[in-house]
Every structure is written in structure tokens, then in C-alpha cells.
Structure 1
Amino acid sequence: MKILLIGEFSRLHNSLKEGLNYLGHDVIIIGSGDLFKKLPVDIDVSVKFFNNSLGRFLRKITFRVFGFDIADLETFLRVKKNLHQLKGFDIVQLINEDAFNLNPGLQKLILKPIFKHNKFVFLLSCGDDYTSTNYHLNNKDRYSVLTPYFKDSKLKKKFQYSLKFTTKPYKKLHDFIVANCNGVIASDMDYHIPLLEHPKYLGLIPNPINIKKIKFSPIKANNKINIFLGINTLSRIKKGIPFFEEALNIIQKKYPEKVDIKITKNLPYNEYINIYNNAHIVLDQVYAYDQGYNALEAMAKGKVIFTGAEKEWLNHYDLKEDTVAINALPDVNQIVKKLEWLIQNPKKIEDISKNARSFIEKEHHYITIAQLYLDTWKNH
């Protein structure tokens, strides 16, 4: 089959492509590489001119005067230039409702011919979208990515990206995509739960992880325990990073001889991956029920991850608490206690490390997951 994957935010579509290629299918990824992450794509439609010094200046001026990001026009034109390459596919999958990270009106203009000239279209719920954001706004569960906003409305500006999906233009884009797609797939529990009542929901397919590219490094926690926190400043509040930062300050003061703490900000994907190779423990996110892509790749390497590992996730995969990953709550004291438990019991770090790799091999193997996608696409 010929398969077109639109957008790339983590490495999900790249790993899926590798699995599909292994199974004998032709796959093309079109996208921007997601800003500083610089993720690989086959057709690059990232902003070039409006990211140089002159372009950024013009971008600021036009946004201030017209309230419109002129860089969207560059993305639109780059996609339009490549429309002839986006025809005749058996399957098209959007990574998200905002797959091109583009003004919804322009995005709709781009998607119309793509929907028209290809056979089947599927939508991934992966990252913020209308369904999950609307669900969290109306169902204030134990916590969600919007919890900081609920607690302090002054943070609204920090949540503009999430909240934009419930505005009229993005709701119209959502309705247009859902009306024209053959089904919606969730990439993890955080998107699965809001979709349970959706008429076109096809189920959860776990993130694919290419375990052939990611080598398992057995942990020997004999000396100092290395703790790594990689911060994306754009999602710092949403992911609950301040809880990690405060907890690390406490741990650093309490165990200066036992820990080595490394904190980075906004690294390109390849640098980010390489820099945590020496880590024993990786702090990922707080406001989640399941693991995001970075956490899963780190688990494949055998890192002990502080991330979303809630009871819904434990039940889904039939796991016991703190055996595969550490459930990080929005509670500094809880994070400190979990870190102390590992520092004082380094054998636990080694055990969880092995369990994490085994879990990825069993539940997230990129070839197995690619087959799950094929079966789901074919049946709908």
C-alpha cells in the first residue's frame, strides 16, 4: 500500500513508517519537523524565510497589526507546492487536527484536495485537539494538562495552544476533518478516555517504538545516581515541570553526594536523546495518565521514568504500580519520596530498568504496532 503520514511531533510517524516499511509498504511523511526538535520528514514544509532575522521582524509587525502569523502563508505555499505529490495514496493519516500547525482556514484549504484525491483518511488523537481539550474543560477529573489553568486563570496565556482548539475556527476545522475521515485513533490513555463516546472512535493503538534503533543499556546504580530533566519551555507548565524542579532542589540539598542532576532546555531531538544516555532516572511529565513518546523511548533504553502511570494505564496493561515506570503526581512531596525510595534502594532502579525495556518490547514494538495500524485501517 501507499501511505501518507501528515505531521510529526515526537517520532511516532517515523517509527510507524519504519514498521510499515518492514512490512512492505511505501510511506511518505510530510511535515515541519516540529520547530526546534528537527524531526525527520520526507517532504519538509517548515518555515524558512520567516525564521531568519528579517522574517521574524516582519512576522512580529504583521501579527501586531493584523493579528495573523504571516509565517502561516509560507507553510501554506510550501504545502501547496507539493500537493501534486500528495495524491493517489491508499491511506492518509493526520498526526493531529493541527497536523500542519497552520491557521485553520488555510489548513482546511490544504486538506480539501488531500481528502479528495486519496482513498481513506484517518485522524490520530495525539496531542491537544478539540475532543480532549473540550473533555478536560467539562470533566475536571483528578487532573489533566489543564489543571494549572483551572487553579490559576492568569495562566491563560500559557494555555493558548490548548485552548485554541475550542475556538470557533478550530472547532470548524475539527468538524471538517471528522466529517471527512474514516475513523479516529488514540495514541495513549490520555486521548483514549475523552474519545470513548466518539462515534468514529476506532480504539487505542500504543505508540510504536523502534527497539532495533534504541539499544537497552543495563543500569548499574553503584555510584552516583544520575537524574535527568529535559525541559521544553513551551510546555513547561502543562507538563508540571515546576514540581520536578522543586523536588530536584530538595534532593540536591539532601543527597549531594549520591546524585548527579542534569537539566537542559529546548534541545533538538538528537541532542536530547544523546544527553540522557548516562541517566538512570528521567523526569518526564506530571499531568498525564500514560507515557508520552519521549518517556517511551527512554524506557526502551532502560531508564526509570517519572511520568504518567496511573491506575487506568496499569489496568489496561495489567501492571503493578512502580514496576515499569513511576507515576509522578502534581505533588512535590510525593516526587521527593519516590526519588528517595530509589536513591536508598538502587537495586529497584535496576529492576524497573529491565521491566521498562520488556514492557516496550511487548506492548510498543514498532512492527507489531504497524500491523495493528494496518488491521485497523483495513477494517474501516
Structure 2
Amino acid sequence: MRILLIGEYSLLHNSLKEGLVQLGHEVILAANSDGFKNYPVDLDFEAKWSKFKLINIVRQIIYRLFKYDFATVEYGIRFYFLLPKFKNFDVIQFVNEAPIKTTKKSELFLIKKIFESNKRVFVLSCGADYLNMKFDIENKNKKSILQPFFLNPKLTKEFYPLFEYLKESHKKVHDLVLDKCIGIIATDFDYVAAVNKSSKYSGFIPYPINHTKLMFQQSNIENKIVIFLGINEWSYNQKGIPYFEKALEIIKIKYENRVEIIITKTVPYPVYIDSYNKAHILLDQTFSCDQGYNALEAMAKGKVVFTGAEKEFVQHYNLSERVAVNALPNVDYLVNELSFLIENPEEIIAIGKRARTFVEKEHDYIKIANQYLETWQKA
């Protein structure tokens, strides 16, 4: 099959491509490289002019004053000139319903062009989109990235981009994609409930992880236990970082000579990975029901990850023992869980082993690529 993957989200499409290529398919990944994360792509529509020093200064001023990023215009322009390369694929998959990240009018125009020249287009429910935002607002008590905003509506700066998905200008994009696509695929349990009642719902497929690239290293705890926290300023509250920071302040005092704490702030993806490699424990996020890509990569390396591991996740995989720590937005809870691990280092080793086994079994990139192929062919 000849397959085009449009958009990237935490290396999901990169890993899927690797699995599909292993199975003998031709795959092209077209995406922006997700800003500072700098993900690899085949056809790149990342903004480049907008990052020139003088232009970028003007860009930042305009964004602060009007909440408008003109780099999005450049995404659309670069994507437009790639359109001749996006024809006659057997399958096209969008990483979400707005994979280009350009202005709404341009997104609508460009997506129409994709549908006009390709018959089988699928879309992932992955990250923020219209249905997920609508569901989270209607279910405020369910764990979601919007919960911090419900608790503190003053956090408008960080959450403003999410509420853009509920505006009429975006709903036109959503309606077009929903009408024209063959199917919608949910990528973890944070998205299933929002889309599983849609007539286009094609099921749940876990994230693909190429664990062969990720060396498992059993935790060797001779001296201090190393705890890692990677902060992305753009999702600071969505990830529940304040709860982790407060918990670490307590842990640092309580176990001063027994722990080493590493914190990074908004660094490129390779730097992020290199920074946590020496850690035994990784603090990921508190407002999720399931693990994202970064958490799964760390689990594959044998880390104990504080992330989403709610009941629906445990029940789906029929787990009797923990493969990750279900993180909650509760400082006392986080301190207790960290304290237990620090005082029982053998549990860090045991969870790390189970985490690796879990990723190999449930997220193997070739197994997941086959699930996508079956779903595309059935729909």
C-alpha cells in the first residue's frame, strides 16, 4: 500500500511509519516538526521565515497583543506547495482533525483539496479537537487537560488555544473532516469516550512504540534514587506540573541524601530524552487516564512513570500488578507514592520490569501497524 501520514504528535506517526515500512508498505510522513520538539519528517511544512530573528520578535509581539501567530499562515503556504505530492494514495491518515495547524480558512481549503484527490482518509482522535473539548466541558469531573482551567479560570493564556477548537471557524473544519473521512481512530483512553458514539468511530488502537530502539536498563539503585521532571511551558498546567513541583519540594527535604532531582524546561526532544535516561522515576502528567508517547517510551526503558493509569486502562489490559503509577492532582498522594518507592527500591525494579514487558506486548510497533492496516481495510 501507498500511505500518507499527515501531521505528527509525540512521534506517533513516526513509529507507525516504521512499523508499516517493516511490513513492506510505502509511507510518506508530511508534518511540521512540532516546533522545539524537532521531530523527523519526510515532507516538512514547519514555519521557517517566521523564526528569523527580527521577524520572530514582531511575531511574538503580535501574539501577545492579539493572540494571533502568523507562523500558522506560513504552515498553510508551505503545505499548499506540497499539494501536488499528496495525490492518489491508498490511505491517508490525519494525526487529528486539524493536522496542518494553519489558519481555519486555510485549513478548511487545504483539507478539501486532500479529500478531492484521495478517497480513503482516516483521522485520529489524538490531542485536542472539537469532540474531545466538547466532551471534557460536559464532563468536568472526568480527568482531562481542561480540569486545571475549571479549577482556575484565570489560566486563560495557556488554555486559550484549546478553546479555539470550540469556535464556529474550527467547527467547520471538524464538520468537513467528520463528513468526508472513512473513520475515526482513538489513540488512548483519554479520547475514547468522546468519539465512540460517532457513526465514523473505527475503534481504539494503542500508540505504536518501536521498543527495539529503546534499551531496557534495569534500575541499579546503589546510591541516590533519581527523579526526573520535564516541563513544557506551553502545557504547564495541563500536565499538572505544579503538583509535581510541590511534591518534589517536600521529597527533597524529606529524603535530602537519598534522592537526586533533575528538572528540564522546554527543551528539544533529544535533549529531553538524554536528560531522563539516568532517572529511576519519571513524572509525566496528573490529568490523564492513559499514557502518552513520552510515558510509554520511558516505561519501555524500565522507568517508573507517574502518569495516567485509570480503571478503564487497567481493565482493558487486564492488569493485576502496576506497570505505572496512576498520578493524581493531589500533592499528598504524590508524596506518599514517591515515599513508598524511595523506601522500597525493590518495587522500582519490579515496576520497571513489568513496564517494559507491557510495552513490548501491547504497544509493539509492528503489531500496532497491523492493527491499523486491518482497520483501514475493514472500514
Shorter chain as denominator, the TM-score bin is: over 0.9
1:358 aligns to 2:366 (yes or no):
no
How many Å separate the matches in 1 of 2:151 and 2:264? Answer: 27
Match of 1:349 in 2: 348
- The alignment-based identity, stated in percent, is 49
- The answer as to whether partners of 2:136 and 2:144 remain within 8 angstroms in 1 is yes
- Superposed displacement of residue 158, structure 1: 1.7
Residue equivalent to 1:87:
87
Equivalent residue for 2:371? Answer: 372
Query: Which residue number in structure 2 is paired with residue 175 of structure 1?
Result: 175
Structure 1 equivalent of residue 316 of structure 2: 316
Structure 2 counterpart SS, 1:324: coil
User: How big is the shift at 1:61?
Assistant: 5.9
Amino acid at match of 2:117: H
In 1, Cα distance between the equivalents of 2:291 and 2:225? 22
Q: Which residue of 2 aligns with 1:328?
A: 327
8 Å contact from structure 1 (residues 222, 346) kept in 2: no
1:69, distance to aligned residue in structure 2 (A): 3.1
Q: What are the superposed Cα offsets for residues 192-224 of structure 1, whole Å, 9 maximum, x if unpaired?
A: 121121111111100000011111111122321
| Matched residue, 1:233 | 233
What is the aligned partner in structure 1 of residue 12 from structure 2? 12
Quick one: distance in 2 between partners of 1:210 and 1:61? 40
Shift in Å at residue 98 of structure 1? 2.2
Equivalent positions of 1:104-119 (< 5 A) are 104-119=104-119
Cα deviation 1:215-269 (Å, max 9, x = unaligned):
1111122321000000111001001010000000000011011100000011111
Bigger Cα displacement from structure 2, 345-354 vs 102-111: 102-111
Q: Which residue of 2 aligns with 1:254?
A: 254
Contact 1:286/1:329 (<8 A) preserved: yes
Task: Tell me the residue number matched to 2:295.
Answer: 295
What secondary structure sits across from 2:78 in the alignment?
Answer: helix
8 Å contact from structure 1 (residues 9, 33) kept in 2:
no
- Taking the aligned partners of 1:65 and 1:235, their CA distance within structure 2 comes to 20
**Mean alpha-carbon deviation: is it higher for 153-162 or for 342-351?**
153-162
Deviation of residue 64 (structure 1)? Answer: 7.4
Work out whether residues 304 and 326 of structure 1, in 8 Å CA contact, stay in contact via their aligned partners in 2. yes
Rounded Cα–Cα distance in structure 2 between residues aligned with 1:66 and 1:211:
43
- Alpha-carbon separation, structure 2, partners of 1:129 and 1:353: 33
CA contact (8 A) 1:221 1:349 kept: no
Q: Distance in 2 between the 1:162 and 1:64 partners?
A: 17
Number of residue pairs aligned between Structure 1 and Structure 2:
379
Determine the C-alpha separation between the residues in 1 that align with 2:151 and 2:291.
Answer: 24
Shift of 1:157: 2.5
SS of corresponding position for 2:93: strand
Q: Does 1:218 align with 2:218?
A: yes
Between the aligned partners of 2:333 and 2:317, the Cα distance in structure 1 is: 24
CA displacement, residues 107-137 of structure 1 (integer Å, 9 cap, x when unaligned)? 1111111111113000001111111110010
Q: Which moved more, 1:129-138 or 1:139-148?
A: 139-148
After TM superposition, give the deviation of residue 51 of structure 1 in Å: 1.1
Q: Gapped runs of 5+ residues in structure 1?
A: none
* Match runs of 1:61-76 below 5 Å: 68-76=68-76
User: What CA distance in whole angstroms lies between the structure 2 residues aligned with 1:206 and 1:125?
Assistant: 12
Offset of residue 30 of structure 1: 0.7
Deviation at 1:350, TM superposition (A): 0.3
